[in-house]
A and B are shown apart, each in its own frame.
Chain A
Amino acid sequence: MTDYNFAYLDEQTKRMIRRAILKGLAIPGYQVPFASREMPMPYGWGTGGVQVSAATLTPDDILKVIDQGADDTTNAVSIRKFFEKTADVDTTTVTSEASVIQTRHRIPEEKLTEDQILVYQVPIPEPLRFLEPRETETRKMHALEEYGLMHVKLYEDISRHGHIATSYAYPVKVEGRYVMDPSPIPKFDNPKMEMAAIQLFGAGREQRIYALPPYTKVVSLDFDDHPFDPSKAPHTCSLCGARDSYLDEVIVDDEGGRMFVCSDTDYCESRRAMAVEDVA
């Protein structure tokens, strides 16, 4: 095949990462430190997610990689190629066919099943980071469940904008215990996190792994008088007509013309394919 060990990382490293993953699954939402390796890509391009995927993949797995919901963007294409080359696994763009899905900034629209693993790329795993810069202090706050500060951030949002303006990386509380950063997914995706699939989060530069076992309770933080609102653009997809999917705004000319399309390309394409079949 190639000169690489299966899925690039050596066996001892994968073992170390699996151990971190298992610990993460045992304590949902807890950030487990791990010895992140140098990967052949820059930090910020998904080194954490790639390491978690590498430790999770088996030769029989079918891999799907998405970036902002799309299968055809640079990040998604290069990570898919990376694993095609180093692990020789089959890849797909169809959500339902994949057994491991690595994602950046989105959860697929299609409902995931118990046979699937969703791997997130995480830039900054610490939800309290921008409020409390000291790592020693944030760890203590997690340990002692002192999460008042998280609401200070939401308070600031409302006082400045009149509503909770945080629209991505919206903090959640996991199983009534740990407050977790769901990675920069839009808050529209937050309710989907209570799902059947295993969710793993890898932050390469920050050297943290955390996880959500299937059907874990995930609650988005809010105020009694300003409840959580998983909002999206108030439009339908211009290509497939979907009303229920998260939309990207695309500028189409320099005269203010724009269109809204599904950010999940696989969802959009499969809907359009079905529509064609119906007509035929």
Chain B
Amino acid sequence: MADEKAAKKIEPPNECLSKVRIGGPLAVTDDVLEQAQADLPGLSALFFESIEEDIEALDAKLKEMTDDPDSQKEVLDEIARVAHDVTGNGGTLGYDLLTVVGNQLRHFLENATLPLNELGQEVVELHIYALHAIFTQKLSGDGGDIGAELMSGLTRIIEKWEASA
């Protein structure tokens, strides 16, 4: 940001402020926010449809996994992209564990050296199976005891992979 020492500072007109009012029947109060949050589960049908599509896409990509570096990279890039979507959507309707596992998978793929060996591929596979389990058993929040067990298994396989690297 050194360039900004010699930069021009501009105050643009606040177009938003000129259109906003304080109070009135259409104002966003705490009650409005609470109701807005309470209404989100109304989108659960679309949510489950979207997550199901994502998990099917992950399953399909898993079947395409090979040891060939080029095609493996293509497969893993797509898995990371879908895991990113799951990360963003999961917690929106309270399925926080989908977000945690999706994010962990994406993070693993971003930092792993490719091509993945057999153990690395197992890390990916187990994360996808975990997403499957969370979805089919509708494990909301942290998933309780089953969630803890899933996370513990994923942590163990990542530690094993890190130790072998």
A, B: real partners = no
